[in-house]
Homo-oligomer: A and B are copies of this chain.
Amino acid sequence: MITLSSPVAFKDLQIDMAHGAGGKASRRLVEGLIAPLVGACEPLTDAACLTVGDVRIAVTTDSFVVRPLRFPGGSIGELAVNGTVNDLAVAGATPLALVCSLIVEAGTPTEVLQAEMQALGSAARRADVIVVGGDTKVVEHGKAAGLYITATGIGRVDPRASLSAGLVRPGDRILVTGHIGDHGITVLLARGDLDLAAELRSDTRPVQPFAAALIDAVGGGLRWMRDPTRGGLATSLNELARDAGLGIVLEEDQVPVRDEVRGACALLGLAPLHIANEGQFVAVVAPDIADLALRMLHAVPGGEAAALIGRVEAAPARTVLAVAAYGGTRVVDMLVGDPLPRIC
């Protein structure tokens, strides 16, 4: 008998782009090789929780390697802050401090670094977090791509937030804070490799105000949150289904997707559900407070497109099903492979 909780085997002979894409291959690499060797034993979430004295703190780290460094709506410096504070936000934490470590390619113009440090500083002020330390390494020309930023965030977990896939129950409702796919498609188009243009901007922003609104309004009725970055909404929901041992029914017509994203995806053979986001989260709430939770998100500036997009069911367990308005059901898988390398 094969069970899904058996250890994942990592048998690939070399590391490829897909292993960094946030989907199935990434999960195999992390669960099958990295986590057991480094001795990490906690479940994999956006942020780890530690208890220090009588305070629970959340810690998260992410390396940002996006190319190009600047794209409509944002840049790597801004992304490093928002991506990090968002991992804290979906853990129910308010950011206390950030540390940022830079790997700069020799020969990078000072004005490029300067612009990104400005973007990082502005984003930190907007997210109300202070940068308390950092490190800078320079590698030879050709051993990086301009600038890589690793940001680590430390936050204080709201004692009212009790968030875990284990708390999710059949009947619970699923919410998303806004349009999906904007970031991934924007970055892809900004590379200029494709003969496509669209009026799109990255959605990069701090999502803490949305998380705070939900915690304030519904407290314990909020079960779980995740920011669907690499791997997109489909991957986050599959992780939820797996971790909760439950099924997810996604009302695909209810998922907010801009026409430009839908169009680009259709041309490129991609699914919006697999495209990275940098300013959204998906949440599970108890059924009785779902409408209240949605109204709360709508009331936060930038939350106008928030939507209820599905529900949790007992079966089929560990599966995400998409249902269309006119009937038809299909299984939605995690991201496989890497259609969009280096999106964040």
Contacts and interface: CB of A to CB of B under 8 A. Distances in A.
A53 B50 contact: no
A337 to B, nearest CB: 12
Contact of A108 (B15, B34, B104): B15
A114 B37 contact: yes
A40 to B, nearest CB: 5
Contact of A38 (B19, B55, B131): B131
Contact of A52 (B53, B103, B145): B53
Given A52-B57, A55-B53, A26 B136 contact: yes
Contacts of A14: 106-110
A47 interface: yes
Contact of A131 (B19, B39, B114, B125): B39
B138 A16 contact: yes
A19 B138 contact: yes
B60 A99 contact: yes
Secondary structure at the A interface, as helix, strand, loop or mixed, is: mixed
A85 B134 CA distance: 15
Interface in A152-177: 152, 154, 156
Give the number of copies in the complex. 2
Contact of A133 (B18, B48, B65, B121): B48
Nearest to A37: B117
A8 interface: no
B133 A99 contact: no
A135 B63 contact: yes
Interface string A25-65: 01001100110011110101001101011110101111111
A114 B48 contact: no
A20 interface: yes
A112 B341 CA distance: 22
* Nearest 5 pairs of A and B residues by beta carbon: A20-B138, A48-B132, A150-B150, A37-B117, A53-B55
23 contacts: A14-B106, A15-B107, A15-B109, A20-B136, A20-B139, A33-B117, A37-B120, A37-B121, A39-B121, A39-B125, A47-B133, A52-B55, A60-B133, A61-B99, A63-B101, A65-B103, A65-B143, A101-B152, A103-B103, A103-B150, A137-B342, A150-B150, A154-B154
Given A39-B121, A48-B97, A143-B144, 11 more contacts: A10-B110, A16-B107, A20-B136, A34-B134, A42-B132, A44-B133, A60-B99, A61-B100, A65-B143, A139-B342, A140-B342
Interface of A: 10, 12-21, 26, 29-30, 33-34, 37-40, 42, 44, 47-48, 50, 52-55, 57, 59-65, 96-97, 99-110, 113-114, 117-118, 120-121, 124-125, 130-140, 142-145, 148, 150, 152, 154, 156, 341-342
